[in-house]
Amino acid sequence: MQHLGIDVSAKSLTVCLAAPCGKRETFTIDNTPQGHKKLIRRLTSKRLTARVALEASGNYGLDLALALHAAPGIEAMVVNPRVARDFARAQCSRSKTDAVDAEVLVEFVQRMPFVLHQPPSSERLELRCLTRRLDELTQKRAAEKARLHSATLSKVLSPVVARDIKTHIRFLDKRIEVLQREALSLIRRHEPLQQDFLLICSAPGFAAKSALRLLGELCVLPADMSNRQWVAYAGLDPAHYQSGSSVLKPSRISRRGHSGLRAGLFLPALCARKNNPNVRAFYQQLCERGKKPLQAIVAIMRKLLHALHGMLKNRTPFDGDKFRKLAPSAP
């Protein structure tokens, strides 16, 4: 079996190929569909199997991962960049070049447990692309509104600038509206996505926009991930720091996960605390135990993510009693 490590950049792929005999070769090909086909032909020309490791590099490596997954006899693994970096440090790697990174990935795929990359369906990838673009435009619009507020308070700023900011905000409003309609239309055309969307909307704190944002990230996750893995993926898992008897720092969330997923849970958690009696009771219970308000909100975010995992897995709507059962009222 051949083993490959591929360092992905925008225009090229640096490949380190370890042959079955142990010989290694490093070469570079274009990061284009033609370059992907050339690499696949080279790997399959002698009817040998291959295992490939590449770092998760966003859109730059997406087409390559899909092409390798579709090729017979080739298994691909997409490695978390943080994991690859820690592995390189464990190897005492002192240099940082594309060739060195490719060699590190070869060592990784040979020594570490292999996790086969299972790409989501095309419609789920499209939905994630749409929701991430929506998030980008929403952030731009918020920044422009902040600039407009600052411009209206200034007596020396040119009125032309304020008019231009207003024009840009109206443009962003139209683009956001168009993309939202396209995302909702995509969901309606695919029954599994429609069911997931309605289930998320049944949870407290989630309206159409917040459910759309969250579904775009959750729908591409592997179906066999556990609720704890979802929490770790969002960076909401607790991180402990203790050494001996003298060093014991307070536990915090790790934040080593998807910041957009955490942001998508924050406002729904606030709304759920305010409007849902079960969530409000859970929040009050945590505050009575000495938790700070923000800590209690983070706990609600984590528990909501647990609830969403069970809802989507079991195809059941939100059940407040499972979140936190209310005490019976006095007669």
Whether residue 138 sits in one domain with residue 231: no
Same domain for 236 and 313, yes or no, is: yes
Same domain, 234 and 171: no
Amino acid symbol at 218: L
Residue 222 lies in a domain: no
The CA dihedral of 82, 86, 87, 89, to the nearest 10 degrees, is: 140
- Given a cut of 50, the residues of the chain with pLDDT beneath it are 330
- My answer on whether 105 and 150 are in the same domain is no
Among 189, 204, 239, residue at a domain's last position: 189
Q: pTM for the complete prediction? A: 0.86
**8/105 same-domain check:** yes
In a shared domain, residues 143 and 165: yes
Range of the domain at 9: 2-111
In a domain, 148, yes or no: yes
Contact present, 249 and 281 (Cβ < 8 Å): no
CB-based burial label for 234 (10 Å; 0-12, 13-18, 19+): buried
Rounded CA separation 59/10 (Å): 9
Residue 155 is given by DSSP the state S
Please tell me whether residues 86 and 153 are part of one structural domain: no
Integer-rounded Cα Rg, in Å, for the chain is 24
* Residue 236 included in any domain: yes
Answer whether 302's CB lies under 8 Å from 231's CB. yes
The two structure tokens encoding residue 107: 């060592």
pLDDT at 253: 85
316-327 pLDDT tens trace: 999 998 888 887
**SS3 at position 12:** strand
Query: Does residue 255 come out as left (phi exceeding 0), alpha (psi in the -120 to 50 range) or beta?
Result: left
Q: How many domains does the chain have?
A: 3
Q: Give CA–CA dist 194/192, Å, rounded.
A: 5
- pLDDT at site 252: 82
* Residues 6+ positions from 200 with CB-CB distance below 8 Å: 206, 211, 214, 215, 308, 311, 312
Residues contacting residue 56 through CB under 8 Å, at least 6 positions apart: 78, 79, 80, 81
User: Does residue 220 sit within a domain?
Assistant: no
Q: Treating both helix axes as pointing N-terminal to C-terminal, what angle do 159-189 and 191-201 enclose, rounded to 10 degrees? A: 120
Residue 117 lies inside a defined structural domain of this protein = no
Question: HSE-up of 95 (CA within 13 Å, CB side)?
Answer: 8
Instruction: Select from 75, 92, 111 the last residue of a domain.
Output: 111
pLDDT confidence of residue 329: 60
Q: Are 13 and 27 in contact (CB under 8 A)?
A: no
274 and 243 in a single domain? The answer is yes
Is 166 inside any structural domain? yes
pLDDT tens profile 123-140:
999 999 999 999 999 999
Task: Give every CB contact of residue 66 below 8 A, 6+ residues apart in sequence.
Answer: 119
Distances (CA, A) of 35 to 1, 14, 15, 158, 228: 22, 11, 12, 51, 38
Q: What is the CATH number of the domain that holds 64?
A: 3.30.420.40
Q: Which residues contact 162 (CB under 8 A, 6 or more apart)?
A: 148, 151, 152
Which of these, 97, 120, 173, 118, lies nearest to 142 by C-alpha position? 173
Q: Is residue 175, in this structure, part of any structural domain at all?
A: yes
Domain termination residue (choose one: 54, 85, 111): 111
Map 18-79 to HEC letters. Answer: ECCCCCEEEEEEECCHHHHHHHHHHHHCCCCCEEEEEECCCHHHHHHHHHHHHCCCEEEEEE
- One domain for residues 71 and 104: yes
Q: What is the pLDDT of residue 184?
A: 96
> Is residue 165 domain-shared with residue 249, that is, in the same domain?
no
- Measured distance CA(13)–CA(36) in Å, rounded: 9
The answer to whether residues 36 and 97 belong to one domain is yes
Claim to verify: residue 233 and residue 302 sit in the same structural domain? yes
Any domain includes 61: yes
Those residues whose C-beta lies under 8 Å from the C-beta of residue 315, and which sit 6 or more positions away, are: 195, 199
